[in-house]
């Protein structure tokens, strides 16, 4: 495979930027991260429409022949500081196309310019607006990394606000514990090409940029691993076996089952954080998306 399209190579380059002196600015990092989506192949047969929902800019991904009355709300990752609807449009278009539904990606605000709870407020506004158009039983929510944790927090917020809950959740390599207490944070440090190695990413720094004074990292709405998950929709959780956040996924499944929520955990040995970004280029990514899509179709009545 051409190196420029390799997720592992992209992660190695991103990780190695910690050695650059003087250190890169946030805007410089964002410019580099804007090429994250280059590793994902175009799915083909998908139209993209920029609109607004609930006062938030969104990008619709509409595969040809997709069910018009089923929608997948997709929350992109990027540590809250980066990533965008453009870096992740192809990933979620692959998932939407395989599931036969439309997808909508909210362009929520970045840190450090905007702190919590802005991001949760914005995706909640989009969710509220979707409920005016789509039956809750025809609506699912997916998210990767920070977006994976945020899709669970969204359901907690919806429950607090007495909103109907979605039919299903698909957290992908979810960041559910901002205290970094999972054993895999240490155990998988040598194998994680993005967060670990000789130039580890400052994950605690990402937390500090997100959380204002007075909000603790173990707050259940920012670390849904510590929440009461009772009544939440069924979850299909995917993760890579080599990533440092593996235990955020493992423990989420355990917590969900403890609170009576149906949950399935799909860990692919040796794979990296959000390895599904290699959709259309690697067999493991394509197979993982196919499994998630089959599960989604069963929950959305397709």
Q: For residue 34, indicate whether it is catalytic.
A: no
Task: Find out whether 119 and 86 touch, Cβ atoms under 8 Å.
Answer: no
Of 14, 84, 145, 278, which one is the catalytic site residue?
A: 145
- Does residue 273 have an active-site annotation? yes
DSSP tag of 155 = H
Are the beta carbons of 236 and 292 closer than 8 angstroms? yes
Identify the active-site residue in 62, 243, 253, 271: 243
Query: Quick check: is 35 catalytic?
Result: no
- Return the number of other C-beta atoms located less than 10 Å from residue 19's C-beta: 9
Question: CA 138, 301, 54: angle at the middle one, nearest 5?
Answer: 10
Measured distance CA(168)–CA(299) in Å, rounded: 6
Q: Are 75 and 142 in contact (CB under 8 A)?
A: yes
Contacts of 183 (CB under 8 A, 6+ apart): 247
Q: How many other CB atoms are there within 10 angstroms of residue 112's CB atom?
A: 13
Q: How crowded is residue 13: how many other Cβ atoms within 10 Å of its Cβ?
A: 15
Q: 153, 184, 273, 278: which is the annotated catalytic residue?
A: 273
What residues are annotated to the active site? 145, 243, 273
């Amino acid at each position: 495979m051409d190196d420029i399209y390799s997720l592992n190579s992209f992660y190695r380059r991103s990780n190695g930027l910690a050695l650059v002196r003087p250190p890169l600015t946030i805007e410089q990092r964002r410019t580099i991260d804007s090429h994250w989506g280059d590793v994902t192949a175009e799915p083909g047969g998908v139209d993209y429409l920029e609109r607004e929902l609930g006062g938030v800019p969104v990008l619709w991904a509409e595969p040809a022949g997709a069910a018009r009355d089923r929608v997948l709300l997709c929350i992109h990752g990027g540590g809250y500081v980066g990533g965008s609807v453009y870096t992740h449009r192809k990933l979620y278009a692959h998932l939407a196309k395989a599931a036969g539904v439309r997808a909508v990606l909210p362009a929520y605000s970045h840190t450090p310019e905007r702190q919590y709870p802005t991001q949760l407020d914005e995706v909640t506004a989009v969710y509220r607006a979707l409920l005016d158009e789509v039956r809750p039983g025809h609506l699912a929510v997916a998210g990767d990394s920070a977006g994976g944790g945020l899709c669970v927090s969204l359901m907690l917020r919806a429950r607090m606000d007495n909103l109907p809950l979605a039919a299903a959740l698909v957290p992908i390599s979810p960041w559910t514990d901002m205290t970094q207490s999972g054993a895999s944070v240490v155990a998988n440090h040598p194998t994680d090409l993005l967060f670990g190695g000789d130039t580890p990413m400052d994950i605690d720094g990402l937390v500090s940029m997100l959380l204002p004074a007075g909000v603790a990292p173990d707050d259940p709405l920012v670390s849904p691993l510590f929440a009461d998950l009772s009544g939440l929709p069924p979850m299909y959780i995917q993760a890579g076996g080599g990533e440092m956040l593996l235990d955020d996924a493992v423990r989420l499944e355990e917590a969900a089952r403890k609170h009576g929520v149906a949950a399935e955990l799909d860990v692919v040995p040796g794979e990296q954080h959000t390895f599904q970004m290699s959709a259309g280029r690697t067999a493991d990514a394509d197979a993982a998306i196919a499994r998630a899509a089959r599960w989604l179709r069963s929950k959305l009545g397709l």
